[in-house]
Structure 1
Amino acid sequence: MIFTFKHILPKRYIALTLWPVIILKDEKLRCDPVLLNHEKIHLKQQLELLILPFYVLYLGEWLFRLCLYGDLHKAYKNISFEREAYQNETDMNYLQKRRAWSFLSYLRADV
């Protein structure tokens, strides 16, 4: 399901995925296949971690990386879930060939 809510998302964000919903800031974003693929990758990650553990791990990794880098944006960009989604968002077949737990391979390297 995809919903559009202009005022829910923080200023810097254009989309957010909260199982089973993708929230977009603007209706026009429904036509952005790369953005939607990025968010669908997050849906897959959330499902394979049984949803709630995904959010715990996501927040924990963000806090760890925030302490590591001291920069909100750099911490966000280096979360393994985000790294996987950003790296594969242009591959429209990625979800069909993606292996379970693929985000684990993105834990080490930094952006």
Structure 2
Amino acid sequence: MILIFKHIFPKRYVGLTFWPLIILKEDKLKDDEVLINHERIHLKQQLELLIIPFYVWYLTEWVVGIFKFRDLNLAYRNISFEKEAYKNENNLNYLSNRNSYAFLKHF
């Protein structure tokens, strides 16, 4: 399910996934196949880690990255879940061929 909430996003962010929802900044983003694919990759990651552990792992990687890189965006871009999603967001068939726990290759 896709929801639109314009006022919860920092400037550079346009979407997020919070199981089982994809939340977008603008209605027109529903047509962005690459963005939707990116967020669907996150849905798959969340499901395979049974949702709550995904968020704990995600937050842990981000906080460690903040200390490691001293940069919020660089910390975000180095989260294994984000690396997998960004690397494969243009492959609209990725989820049909994705191996379980594929994010571990980026850890």
TM class by smaller structure: over 0.9
The Cα of 1:10 is off from its aligned counterpart by 2.3
Counterparts of residues 28-67 of structure 1 (less than 5 Å): 28-67=28-67
Is 1:16 the counterpart of 2:16 in the alignment? yes
Which one-letter code corresponds to 1:31 in the other structure? D
TM-score w.r.t. the length of structure 1 is: 0.94
Which one-letter code corresponds to 1:87 in the other structure? K
Identity %, equivalent residues: 61
Which one-letter code corresponds to 1:74 in the other structure? L
Root mean square deviation of aligned Cα = 0.6
Counterparts of residues 69-88 of structure 1 (less than 5 Å): 69-88=69-88
| Structure 1: stretches of 5+ with no match in the other structure | none
Q: What is the total number of aligned residue pairs between the two structures?
A: 107
Counterpart of 2:7 in 1: which secondary structure?
coil
In 2, the alpha carbon distance for the partners of 1:105 and 1:16 equals 22
Which one-letter code corresponds to 2:92 in the other structure? M
Structure 1 runs, 4 residues or longer, greater than 4 Å off: none
In 2, the alpha carbon distance for the partners of 1:43 and 1:19 equals 6
TM-score w.r.t. the length of structure 2 is: 0.98
